[in-house]
């Protein structure tokens, strides 16, 4: 049985075969990194971090990520590292330690590097008071050289339920020029089931304020697969969202893993949409947004054609990291705060995940590193292949061969044999010079990428979300 779609051929398939999708509905990574965080080792040391910095060219710009873990209320679906509290004083202590970490990294870097991109996530960054946010920005500017606001990309996630009337103006004064709003769903029954009550009017007010204060890009986050969602209910949410005219949309597939994320145990399993209903939601979403003029960047991201994300993809500069699809592929990622993950040179490293350990290490004037991994040559080759496919949906063998001194068909002989299943199912085209992901294959790109993942067989079932 097929679901007939009327999408532009360059974007999405003309037909989705439900049996095919069901067969490929396996667990797998989202590939915000390769290798994934499951390969991080706790014997990764400060010396390894310093070695990564030593291999960083002085002219290489940075992208900064700051993790603000606090939330005033608990959203049951959330799998982020967060601390739910009504005690606003806790963020003041955290900010003092975050400033220490910033200074320690700057000391280790030994210079004042250029920053072209920054993102504050969480948790809820707007949990912080205005003086606390200003203190962090002041410390950052003391230690890093930020590109001007009209050149750099400086984004912050906000919860429209937790902002004051002057918050957006204040954030603009700090230099932020991009904003991401958490919405998830406007259906009241869904909101009650996940403990996130947020009116359309609250969200609209935040959008209007952001535009009035000169934010040049607006992203809205939605989630499909939440309890009580249906194709019809999500259609209404999408229609309301487009009234707000966002520049980007992130529409994530909800991963129900209650054994790993305790808050999800509060979500009634019986209320979750079936895989077939999720497929209908996904089908409608991709079609509706592409017909409405948005480019399907890949997986869970959509953007207007003139947005920098869509431009970066067209120009071959799109990258994928721990923040999802991102512009500024020339930047290395330095992440700050509890649990934050960085990517410098050919190393990934992560901070400790709990506040007590984070504070204790900084009290000893130590960087709060917990674990990481240094990529070997095979990791680098496979990362290049996976990231090219997941960002651009095509691959030229010659570019990988010239970049790493290999013969692609020899190096990946077994992988090319396994890819034949995707070719037979119409998901992939393989020719003498490379491979091209078909429109249908774009919806299953994670599955295609797993073919090149040498670690996947060692990963326990249930550690990753399913495609649908």
pLDDT per residue as tens digits for the range 324-379: 888 887 899 999 999 999 999 899 999 999 999 999 999 999 999 999 999 999 99
| pLDDT-based confidence at residue 466 (cuts at 50, 70, 90) | low
In sequence order, which residues have a C-beta less than 8 Å from that of residue 214 and are 6 or more positions away?
A: 172, 177
Can you spell out the DSSP letters for 75-93?
Answer: -TT--S--EE-S-THHHHH
Q: For residue 388, how many other CB atoms are within 10 A of its CB? A: 20
The DSSP bridge pattern shows strands 434-437 and 394-396 to be antiparallel
3-state helix, strand, coil in the chain (%, to 5): 40, 20, 35
> What pLDDT, on the 0 to 100 scale, is given for residue 5?
37
CATH 1.10.10.920 describes domain 2-27+376-457: yes
Give the CATH fold of the 37-336 domain.
Answer: pyruvate-formate lyase- activating enzyme (3.80.30)
As given in the structure block, the two tokens for residue 286 are 């991709």
pLDDT at residue 14 tops 60: no
The Cα 66–Cα 68 span in angstroms is 6
Domains of the chain, residue spans? 2-27+376-457, 37-336
pLDDT per residue as tens digits for the range 142-175: 999 999 999 999 999 999 998 999 999 999 999 9
Residue 11 CA to its chain's centroid (Å): 21
pLDDT at residue 35 tops 80: yes
Can you spell out the DSSP letters for 11-51?
Answer: TS-SEEEHHHHHHT--B----SSSS-GGG-BTT--HHHHHH
pLDDT at residue 8 tops 50: no
As given in the structure block, the two tokens for residue 364 are 């000893």
Ramachandran angles phi, psi of 137, nearest 5°: -65, -40
- Rounded to the nearest 10 degrees, the angle between the axes of helix 89-109 and helix 355-363 is 50
pLDDT at residue 10 tops 60: no
Reading phi first (left if > 0) and then psi (alpha if -120 to 50, else beta), residue 242 is in alpha
Q: For residue 391, how many other CB atoms are within 10 A of its CB? A: 22
The Cα 416–Cα 413 span in angstroms is 5
pLDDT at residue 3 tops 50: no
The Cα 326–Cα 312 span in angstroms is 8
Q: Is the pTM of this model over 0.75?
A: yes
Task: Name the helix (H) or strand (E) containing 167.
Answer: helix 167-173
- Rounded to the nearest 10 degrees, the angle between the axes of helix 231-243 and helix 275-291 is 30
| pLDDT-based confidence at residue 282 (cuts at 50, 70, 90) | confident
Average pLDDT, integer, range 433-456 = 91
Length of the chain: 468
Q: Furthest-apart CA pair in the chain: how many Å?
A: 62
Task: Name the helix (H) or strand (E) containing 158.
Answer: strand 153-158
């Amino acid at each position: 049985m097929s679901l007939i779609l009327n999408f532009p051929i360059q974007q999405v398939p003309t037909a989705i075969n439900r049996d095919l999708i069901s067969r490929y509905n396996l667990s797998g990574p989202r590939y915000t990194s390769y290798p994934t965080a499951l390969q991080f080792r706790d014997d990764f040391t400060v010396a390894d971090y310093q070695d990564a910095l030593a291999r960083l060219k002085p002219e290489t710009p940075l992208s900064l990520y700051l993790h603000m873990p606090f939330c005033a209320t608990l959203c049951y679906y959330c799998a982020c590292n967060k601390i739910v509290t009504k005690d606003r004083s806790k963020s003041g202590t955290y900010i003092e330690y975050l400033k220490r970490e910033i200074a320690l990294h700057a000391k280790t870097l030994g210079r004042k590097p250029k920053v072209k991109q920054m993102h504050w996530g969480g948790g809820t960054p707007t949990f912080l008071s205005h003086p606390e946010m200003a203190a962090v920005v002041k410390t950052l500017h003391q230690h890093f050289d930020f590109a001007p606001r009209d050149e750099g990309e400086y984004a912050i996630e906000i919860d429209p339920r937790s902002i004051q009337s002057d918050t957006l103006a204040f954030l603009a004064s700090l230099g932020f020029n991009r904003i991401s709003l958490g919405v998830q769903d406007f259906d009241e029954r869904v909101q009650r089931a996940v403990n996130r009550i947020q009116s359309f009017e609250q969200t609209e007010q935040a959008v209007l304020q952001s535009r009035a204060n000169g934010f040049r890009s607006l992203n809205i986050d939605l989630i499909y697969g939440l309890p009580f969602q249906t194709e019809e209910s999500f259609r209404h949410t999408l229609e309301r969202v487009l009234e707000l005219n966002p520049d980007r949309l992130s529409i994530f597939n909800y991963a129900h893993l209650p054994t790993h994320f305790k808050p999800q145990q509060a979500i009634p399993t019986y209320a979750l949409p079936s895989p077939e209903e999720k497929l209908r939601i996904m089908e409608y979403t991709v079609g509706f947004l592409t017909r409405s003029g948005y480019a399907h960047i890949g997986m869970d991201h959509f953007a207007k054609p003139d947005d920098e994300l869509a431009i970066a993809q067209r120009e071959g500069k799109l990258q994928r990291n721990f923040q999802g699809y991102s512009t500024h592929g020339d930047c290395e990622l330095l992440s700050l705060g509890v649990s934050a993950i960085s990517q410098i040179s050919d190393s990934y490293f992560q901070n400790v995940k709990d506040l007590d350990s984070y504070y204790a290490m900084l009290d000893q004037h130590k960087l709060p590193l917990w674990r990481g991994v240094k990529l070997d040559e095979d990791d680098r080759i496979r990362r290049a292949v996976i990231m090219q496919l997941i960002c651009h949906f095509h691959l030229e063998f010659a570019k990988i061969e010239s970049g790493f001194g290999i013969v692609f068909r020899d190096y990946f002989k077994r992988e090319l044999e396994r890819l034949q299943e995707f070719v037979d199912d119409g998901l992939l085209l393989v020719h003498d010079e490379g491979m091209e992901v078909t429109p249908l294959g774009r919806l299953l790109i994670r599955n295609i990428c797993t073919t090149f993942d040498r670690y996947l067989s060692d990963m326990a079932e249930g550690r990753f979300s399913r495609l649908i």
